Chains A and B, each alone.
Chain A
Amino acid sequence: MKYLLYFLVFMSLSVTAQDKYITKTGVVQFEASVPSFEEVAAKNNAVTGIINADNGEFAALAMVKAFRFKNALMEEHFNENYAESYLYPKATFKGTIDGFSLKTEKTTYKITGELNFHGVSKTISNIDITSVHKNDTIVIEGTFKVLASDFNIKIPKIVSNKIAEEIVVNFSFELVKQ
């Protein structure tokens, strides 16, 4: 009887223990290039990502200052005029991966959640992601598109033919079990 009790306590503990997978070096890239003009693209490879493997909740946090452009002036303009990173230093995403499970090794899911950038929150729905689960790591990758205007970012007329209104965002997270 005592052992059964221990067993039950142990079982309940292992059920409530959250299975968290974390990375501090996730990669998020975006591109708003227009063909035949200089590329408008940046990469951030210090993005934090957390998956709660029990319920498929996913959270990511990127420091806006950590988006690096090839062109230093473009980086400066991005920070000062577009993203206003001194006011809004963080970009965050909070969402849920639909039907997430660790049973399958390689699969695709859909994720829905709220993206916050430049002080504006927007729900982005049903983004396709691929997930590869091996031993203690999960690799999640995907792409989605957003509009600059959705995040209250105005592209001045004078450069509007050089910057695309539609921004393609790529992400890749290699999360390790904690």
Chain B
Amino acid sequence: MRKWIILIALLVLGIFAYNYIYQEHRNIQDETPEFVVTAVELSKEFSNDPKASERKYLNKTIVINGIITEQNENDLILNPNIFCQFEQKITTNDTVVQIKGRVIGYDDLLEEIKLDQCNILPN
């Protein structure tokens, strides 16, 4: 009997350890956004104080309302300087969109705000 208890305890521990080590990646699209902003507001905030804004938004899931000014296969620019990278091909034909993604930082070479794991939210 004792043997069995030890064995089961080890098994449960093993399962917990496995689930901890091989936990799943964050799913940005399932998260509730911490901020909902317009592209122009966000851009203004970053141009006023890039460092503080970066600290505020870094690694956060946000929703941005904006206008697409440039569209490529896997990324797009929201007016005026927000770069959104997608993991899938972008299929939208709209120009006014709502995008959910994760802020990865402020690119001071091109003066752009960068997001990854983006998706266009349905209207």
Contacts and interface: CB of A to CB of B under 8 A. Distances in A.
B25 A75 contact: yes
A90 to B, nearest CB: 6
Name the residue among A75, A86, A89 with the largest chain B CB count within 10 angstroms: A89
Interface of B: 20-26, 54, 58-59, 74-75, 83, 85, 102, 104-105, 107-110, 112, 114, 116
A72 B109 contact: no
List the 7 closest A-B pairs by CB distance, nearest first: A63-B105, A63-B104, A72-B25, A65-B104, A66-B104, A89-B105, A61-B109
Interface of A: 22, 24-25, 45-46, 48, 50, 59, 61, 63-66, 71-73, 75, 85-86, 89-90
B46 to A, nearest CB: 13
Nearest to A89: B105
A39 to B, nearest CB: 14
Nearest to B59: A65
Contacts of B26: 72
Contacts of A63: 104-105, 107, 114
Nearest to A66: B104
B110 A24 contact: yes
B114 A66 contact: yes
B110 to A, nearest CB: 6
